[in-house]
Amino acid sequence: MSNNDDRPNNALQQGLKTQVAATVGAVALASPVRATQDKQSVKVEVGEITVDLNINGEKYTLAIEPRVTLLDALRERLQLTGSKKGCDHGQCGACTVIIDGQRVYSCLSLAVMQEGKEITTIEGLTQGDDLHPMQLAFIENDGFQCGYCTPGQICAAAALIDEVKQGCASVVSEDFQNVSQLVNLSELEIRERMSGNLCRCSAYNGIVAAIQQVAGQVPPEPAALVMVQGQEGLA
């Protein structure tokens, strides 16, 4: 047995980073032609309307039925399959995207309602070959297992950081008028703010640690502690 310390395996970590970046890059390459072309070239069938969407800094024109959800437009029409369809009822959070800086369940949002808004999916968080700090933190803190909920978790976590910076309180915030700075975010606060995103593999400790890391709480505490109405030790 080797005398390696407890630090993450750098080779494995680098391999995961490369795999994630390659996957995101492949999805981006599969995206359709941008909507900078003549809109007349978009074929509209009976019952469809044209919708202009701004997704990850790119503009697209789609011909869809008004009832099409943003999630289905992303996955079925634009091949942006990072956003996952889990419950399709707004209960699991696997489809979470960021719209105008706020996290949104794309399965409950109609695509036609998003015209003129800035939509960011998990593919848009990556800048070229550089992963978003939250993506790196999820890798370094084992914030995922099967990975199905991870895109929604990461989008929600990235939006959480911005929400706190803007002074948005949660139901467990001690002072609604003076939201704590990021460095003072408690584990209970993080868990409450992420409660809309479920992980059936129960990688919650790693998720909390990843958010702590991006928030500047480095190193994260070794175990996430939940305190609800005086009960301790619920992991």
Q: Residue 43: which pLDDT band, with cuts at 50, 70 and 90?
A: confident
User: Is it the case that residue 126 has pLDDT exceeding 70?
Assistant: yes
Name all domains of the chain by residue range, CATH numbers in brackets.
23-125 (3.10.20.30), 128-225 (1.10.150.120)
Q: What are phi and psi of 24, to 5 degrees?
A: -65, -40
Task: Report d(CA 73, CA 23) in Å as an integer.
Answer: 20
> What pLDDT does residue 16 have?
54
pLDDT at residue 169, as a whole number: 78
Q: Give this prediction's pTM.
A: 0.77
- pLDDT confidence band for 13 (50 / 70 / 90): low
What pLDDT does residue 108 have? 97
The pLDDT, as a whole number, for residue 167 is 79
Indicate the angle between helix axes 204-215 and 150-165, nearest 10 degrees. Answer: 40
Write out 140-172 in H/E/C secondary structure: HCCCCCCCCCHHHHHHHHHHHHHHHHCCCCCCC
What CA–CA distance (Å, rounded) separates 217 from 214? 7
The pLDDT score that the predictor gives to residue 144 is 93
Residue 10 CA, distance from chain mean position: 25
pLDDT > 90 fraction of the chain, expressed in percent and rounded: 57
> What pLDDT score was predicted for residue 182?
52
The answer to whether 44 and 63 are in contact (CB under 8 A) is yes
Answer with the residue of higher pLDDT: 58 or 226.
58
- According to the model, what pLDDT value does residue 94 have? 97
Q: Is the pLDDT of residue 179 over 90?
A: no
Tell me, what's the pLDDT at 101? 94
Tens digits of residue pLDDT in 68-89: 999 999 999 999 999 999 999 9
Q: Do the strands 102-105 and 96-99 form a parallel or antiparallel pair, or are they unpaired?
A: antiparallel
Whole-number pLDDT of residue 184: 67
> Is pLDDT of 234 > 50?
no
